[in-house]
Structure 1
């Protein structure tokens, strides 16, 4: 299935488009989707010249997945801040259908966070051979001591606006999202500044009351990380963080669909509460993703993985996941009433919209990047392309 031509054509696939599934093929030229060709409209006119042909064997062709919350995979952690780790992470997740991701940090020292910013910048500039690092998601350190989850409480502090301004000046456009507890001192000011400067302000690891989240949304907060997890829950007299996330349509809601973090019924409640375009699938994957059970590390804390579930050795809190986007995709398809077009929005279209890159990627449409995933009928990944370049092919393993 490898193609070296600047033009190639994949046919005999079920194209998962933004609104429907169409049998046919896609012509790719110079990294972009040139023409979508329904099966009953195939002709030789658009396929003249040196065009490599790929038989999709009746599988699904999906827009590449965009993971806005991922810490690592296959033994690599973004906090390691080195190219070897980044190659391991992006290669592994590309093999599971991810074409773009946000390199997600942990609550750590200012110096450790800056090392990641420097490393991601260098990785982008040197060329990214596998899934693209779209930018950075800073998860912490401005979170709540009451809801640390698997974050290291030694580094939790109030929002430092001067840090954010310095990081933006040094790495313009790199930080795409920052997770914080909106109830902390200085948080609303930081949220307003982020909203004005193109950084997604996200609520997470937070003890915020309903009114706190509404005030934060008024200031520009637009995202909730791993909805249900590490946040004040819903009570009928105090709706809490969760109640605000479920009821305020200004807020995108992440969900970790692995059967461990959130009960299927809670996912159904989320989908019934939010507009479909406001729900986003993420993995929250750590270095243990793709690795055998054992002991790993996350943010300097020991993590034990048993039967694929990661928990802190001390305290037993869930510690990220070993999830992949294709597994999350299949889980939602199996455990909810959504169809494959809907689930594709959660995995690709919605994150692209929130990141303001939907004009470039996130759906199969003419003129967009050829960020594509081919699966078989059972939704097992066969091949992944980033901007038309093959970054994973099952046949070549």
Structure 2
């Protein structure tokens, strides 16, 4: 199949739809899903376009990663197209068809540079996994829960910064992580809610009632649930207790078996409605690279056996995870089936970002953002709007 073709068929494949799995064929026309035909259907696909043999594998909706810092030696904080090509090419090869460029707690000037670079990269028409916008992880976080963030740049929420960013790059900031207990947080959350920015709790020491109050003001997301937040106590349920029990809040989870124990993931899945759980990578530049020393937000990170930790303090520092590995982990280590895991990796983030009418599931009329995986869920090919952005055979 030619890499620039927007019209093709794929057959002999298990198609993961929103509500069922069918074995059959899909026709893509002008980058969109035109026809889905199951083997027991009387429908016919066009015969005059190129056919791709799925070889009995799985056709999945492309993954959407709302929390990813980098990969294959690139970091979004580097604020240049070469780095962004490294990231988007690498993650496209892992089944990602859309992502939020995620920043670190840094100076305003450094964050300004990332927003400018992402805007320029979007306009250039990048050829791999698209940048759907930016996730600002900090700098409005708690000094008590910095995790791998640089404490030198932690600030109280600055509403004028938010307004400036949104004026210069309208709609660019899709999600912002902050500590809701900090000064000015409630005003910032209300403003974000009114201006289409997802307000997220993360790196926070917030009490249960503070998270509930933030949700009343418009907070709807929790960043890497369990990690870098006040935990659950039976008399003070804390940040975690509020996240697990408030159905207004989407809960991210880093599904690698290292950041969160499998039993804690099971507890989250028992507590949260399935449509409020999202799997993310929190991947850093070390993803796809060998063990060694790397950088994250200006801090040294040591990767050993694939696990990233700060050199000073030994805190977990993002991950080397990919979305296809997170997908496999959830499939193999929870009670969820393939439809449910697909929802966590594709449908839920698309709904939260307000783009589910265009992507996030396999349905006629939607963009052909698709992943072909083999029987063991290794990525064979990835398409964005019908265009091949990765092929294992090429």
- Does 2:38 match 1:38? yes
> Could you say if the C-alpha distance between residues 4 and 177 of structure 1 is closer, same or farther in structure 2, counting changes exceeding 3 Å?
closer
Partner of 1:164: 162
Once the two structures are superposed, what CA deviation does each residue of 1:89-108 show, in whole Å capped at 9, x if it has no partner? 00000000000000000000
- Does 2:69 match 1:71? yes
- Does 2:240 match 1:242? yes
- Deviation (angstroms), 1:199: 0.2
Partner of 2:11: 11
Quick one: which of 196, 201, 221 aligns to 2:219? 221
Cα distance in structure 2, aligned partners of 1:4 and 1:210: 51
- Deviation (angstroms), 1:25: 1.1
- Deviation (angstroms), 1:69: 0.1
- Deviation (angstroms), 1:43: 5.2
Quick one: which of 109, 112, 115 aligns to 2:110? 112
Partner of 2:152: 154
Conservation of the 8 A alpha-carbon contact between 1:60 and 1:377: yes
Cα distance in structure 1, aligned partners of 2:109 and 2:170: 18
Partner of 1:322: 320
Partner of 1:256: 254
Partner of 1:372: 370
- Does 2:172 match 1:174? yes
Once the two structures are superposed, what CA deviation does each residue of 1:189-229 show, in whole Å capped at 9, x if it has no partner? 00000000000000000000000000000000000000000
> Could you say if the C-alpha distance between residues 2 and 317 of structure 1 is closer, same or farther in structure 2, counting changes exceeding 3 Å?
same
Runs of 5+ consecutive residues of structure 1 not aligned to the other structure: none
Conservation of the 8 A alpha-carbon contact between 1:287 and 1:296: yes
- Deviation (angstroms), 1:39: 1.5
- The runs of 4+ residues in structure 1 deviating greater than 4 Å are none
Q: How does 1:1-397 map onto structure 2 within 5 Å? A: 1-41=1-41, 44=44, 46-48=45-47, 50-396=48-394
Cα distance in structure 2, aligned partners of 1:278 and 1:295: 35
TM-score between the two structures when normalised by the length of structure 1 = 0.98
Once the two structures are superposed, what CA deviation does each residue of 1:218-259 show, in whole Å capped at 9, x if it has no partner? 000000000000000000000000000000000000000111
Cα distance in structure 2, aligned partners of 1:79 and 1:73: 12
Aligned residues: 394
> Could you say if the C-alpha distance between residues 243 and 43 of structure 1 is closer, same or farther in structure 2, counting changes exceeding 3 Å?
closer
- Deviation (angstroms), 1:6: 3.2
Conservation of the 8 A alpha-carbon contact between 1:5 and 1:51: no
Runs of 5+ consecutive residues of structure 2 not aligned to the other structure: none
Conservation of the 8 A alpha-carbon contact between 1:2 and 1:393: no
3-state SS in 2 of match to 1:212 = helix
Conservation of the 8 A alpha-carbon contact between 1:16 and 1:60: yes
TM-score between the two structures when normalised by the length of structure 2 = 0.99
